Chain A
Amino acid sequence: MKLIQIRNITRVYDMGEEKLYALRGVDLDIEKNEYIAIMGPSGSGKSTLMNIIGCLDTPTSGDYILNGKDVHEMDDDELATIRNKEIGFVFQTFNLLPRSDSLHNVELPLIYSGVSRAERIKRAEDALTNVGLADRMKHKPNELSGGQRQRVSVARALVNNPSLILADEPTGNLDTKTGEEIMGLFRELNEKGNTIIIVTHEEDIAKHANRIVKIRDGMIESDSGIKQ
């Protein structure tokens, strides 16, 4: 079953006099339980595509159907709900709230979906335990190593059981060994049934995925298809 259907998507930035074509017509289908890497050099449009897939941005034209929901014409608040329920983000710079401990950071998506306190805490604890941070729940981000911070953000991405995990250069700020550990974590998650999209410019990282899509100049340059 198709999780993502993207049809002829464009994204044009209006820079006053000039128009900047970040995406010039992209078609992309992603099945449930895929593990896909989107690759491309900087300025290729891969970040724009990721923002659209992640419902942080909307396309200028084209259709985007996520998990059966037509999202390309949703307003800000509807998109916020989709992000909350359907998507778990993992960012290069972790993007944790600096003044909150791990537990509260992981709890946050549940707060925004209105889950009761007791259940929130239980689910956040479970998510942290799953990424191997059972003993780091009360630590603030600045008391954790880079790898641990990224684990916290993976736990945050997982906690609301999203249909899609979207990781933007998840190993970009980590050393190779820690990066490998995080990629191992994604592998595990994929094997448990999660759909994972990784955006990266590193071949070594992309090869962990089962399918590689390359973007250049706002268009899909190549699509490896699903490796068996």
Chain B
Amino acid sequence: MNFFLEIKENIVISYKAIIAHKMRSFLATLGIVIGITAVTLMQTAIEGINRAFESSIASVGADVLYVQKFEWFGAQDFEFYRNRKDLTMQHYEYLKRNSQTAESMCPSVGSAKTVKYGSLDLEGVFIIGTTDEYQKTLGVNMEDGRFFTAKESEGGNPVCLIGTDVKNAFFENVNPIGKDIKIGSYSFRIIGVMEKQGSMLGLFSLDNRVIIPIHRFFKLYGTRRSLSINVKAGDVKNLEETKEEITSIMRKTRKVPPGKQNDFGVNQQSAFRDTYDQLTSLIKIIGLLITSLSLIVGSVGIANIMFVSVKERTKEIGIRKAIGAKRRTILMQFLVESVVICLLGGVVGLGIAFPISLIIDAFVLPTAMPLWVVVLGIFISLMFGVLSGFFPAYNAAKMDPVDSLRYE
């Protein structure tokens, strides 16, 4: 008998059987419904987190090294870090003089301060002191105005650039360029507004900041701070080469003896990514455990109902066998029935998950149910249909025609 013809007939048969036992079939597939809903929503959520991460990490340039006092994700004992010395402008100048591979670099130093404009004030603004090379090294786009020049940078002029949060707080309908704001008790003239960057993983805003010349920063707030020396390699391909060079120059100027570990950190975006990947794979594993648990429970439910269905239809199996159904035909009939029930469960699960994903998208974090998740959901329900239907169907297939015809 033709395979596709058989499948088609079996779908009709299982449709009739399911219609005849609507409530029972629905209850049987409830576990699958919940499982598929869970698996698709989890993937949708992970997709959303991934998107948020990708847009956040864009602010940490992929081809930039951040030479700092500490590693971002260090895992050594506190003792190991305790006696580290600050990074200073001397280190920066030494690096700049000696590096052959870096495309550009800039020092930066930061502190949170209250910013005032007239009678308004904004607390906790991140004040960054840096040089004119900051723009080139870290890729700052201007919404309005300009970055400060080398001359302004070296002279430590009282000029500043503001992020969009600061602009929105003070200058609703006014052009901020040329206005004076106060950082602490010192006055700065606004010469530029930076483009909106969004937030880092939704945790803190990247637009709540003000950039000023580093010499001004030192003069007003002191030099006793460790710098971040930001080095642009120019291309991700050259990152490792630049990293090696920078590390060896730094070891030289810091006089680290051969064989000893660095007493500074050379950080890069991939450190974020590695940590993030560890975190999300943990979430994925936990999610997978929960969803497979509900799918297994669902599958036991389906198998149970299929055993009942086979037992109930012993006579029908006998009739079908008497008029020529082979073992395989009967096996396929019940397997298809189980698959159809599971697929219905899967489709209902997707039907529940999809509007929820829209709600998540609108109110929690921007996301979308990826197409492959839909395909995965269908595939999983198919697989569980075969899995839970096999033994009941096998039982049906090997029934003796004489005994089953006699069954009442």
Residues facing A in B318-343 (CB within 8 A) are 318-329
Contact pick for A89, options B17, B315, B322, CB 8 Å:
B322
- The stretch that binds B, out of A61-69, A73-81, A194-202, is A73-81
Q: Does B401 sit at the interface, judged by CB under 8 A?
A: yes
Cβ–Cβ < 8 Å partners of A77 in chain B: 326-328
Are B326's CB and A80's CB within 8 A? Answer: yes
Q: How large is the interface on B (under 10, 10 to 19, 20 to 34, 35 or more residues)?
A: 20 to 34
Complex contacts, B329 vs chain A, CB 8 Å:
112
Is B327 touching A76 in the complex (CB atoms < 8 A)? yes
The answer on a CB contact under 8 Å between A97 and B324 is: no
A83 close to B322 (CB less than 8 A): yes
**Contact, CB under 8 Å: A83 / B324:** yes
A79-100, CB under 8 A of B: which get 1 and which 0?
A: 0110111000101000111011
Give every chain A residue within 8 A of B325 (Cβ-Cβ).
80, 112
Among the interface residues B20, B325, B329, which one has the most CB atoms of the partner chain A within 10 A?
Answer: B325
B392 to chain A, nearest CB (A): 18
CB atoms of A84 and B324 under 8 A apart:
yes
**For the complex, is B383 an interface residue (Cβ under 8 Å from A)?**
no
Report whether B323 and A108 are in contact in the complex, using a CB–CB cutoff of 8 Å. Answer: yes
A86-127: which have CB < 8 Å to B? 89, 91, 95-97, 99-100, 108-109, 111-114
| A97 and B316 contact, Cβ closer than 8 Å, known pairs A51-B402, A112-B1, A114-B5 | yes
What is the CA–CA distance of A68 and B402 in the complex, to the nearest angstrom?
24
Contact B16 A80 (CB under 8 A): no
Contact A80 B5 (CB under 8 A): no
Q: How far is the CA of A100 from the CA of B323 in the complex (A)?
A: 15
The answer, among A51, A76, A109, A114, for a CB contact under 8 Å with B323, is: A109
Q: How far is the CA of A95 from the CA of B318 in the complex (A)?
A: 9
Task: List the A side residues contacting B324 at CB < 8 Å.
Answer: 80-81, 83-85, 109, 112-113, 160
- The residue on B at minimum CB distance from A91 is B405
Q: What residues on B are CB-neighbors of A113 within 8 Å? A: 1, 324
Chain A count of residues within 8 A CB distance of the other chain: 26
A169 interfacial by beta-carbon distance below 8 Å = no
- Residues of chain A contacted by B326 (CB below 8 angstroms): 76-77, 80-81, 112
- Chain B residues lying within 8 Å of A156, measured Cβ to Cβ, are 323
Contacts of A81 in B (CB 8 A): 324, 326
Q: Taking the nearest CB of chain B, how far is it from the CB of A100, in angstroms?
A: 8
> Contacts A77-B328, A99-B16, A114-B1: A56 and B323 contacting too (C-beta < 8 A)?
no
Given contacts A77-B328, A83-B324, contact A95 B20 (CB under 8 A): no
* Given known A112-B1, A113-B1, A114-B2, contact A89–B402 (CB-CB < 8 A): no
Chain B contacts with A in 371-408, Cβ cutoff 8 A? 401-402, 405
Residue of B nearest to A54 (CB): B322
Chain B contacts for A80, CB-based, 8 A: 321, 324-327
Query: How far is A77 from B318 in the complex, measured between Cα atoms in Å?
Result: 14
Chain B positions 9-31 with a Cβ under 8 Å from a chain A Cβ: 9, 16-17, 20
A141 to chain B, nearest CB (A): 11
Q: Is the Cβ of B401 less than 8 Å from the Cβ of A99?
A: no
Q: Give residues in B with beta carbon < 8 Å to A.
A: 1-2, 5, 9, 16-17, 20, 315-316, 318-329, 401-402, 405
A112-B326, A114-B5 given. 19 additional CB < 8 A pairs? A51-B402, A54-B322, A56-B322, A76-B326, A77-B328, A80-B326, A81-B326, A83-B321, A84-B323, A84-B324, A91-B405, A95-B318, A95-B322, A99-B16, A99-B20, A100-B16, A108-B320, A112-B325, A114-B2
Q: Can you name 30 A-B residue pairings with CB atoms under 8 Å?
A: A56-B321, A56-B401, A56-B405, A76-B326, A77-B326, A77-B327, A77-B328, A80-B321, A80-B325, A80-B327, A81-B324, A84-B323, A89-B322, A95-B318, A95-B319, A95-B405, A97-B316, A99-B16, A99-B17, A99-B20, A100-B16, A108-B320, A112-B1, A112-B324, A112-B329, A113-B1, A113-B324, A114-B1, A114-B2, A114-B5
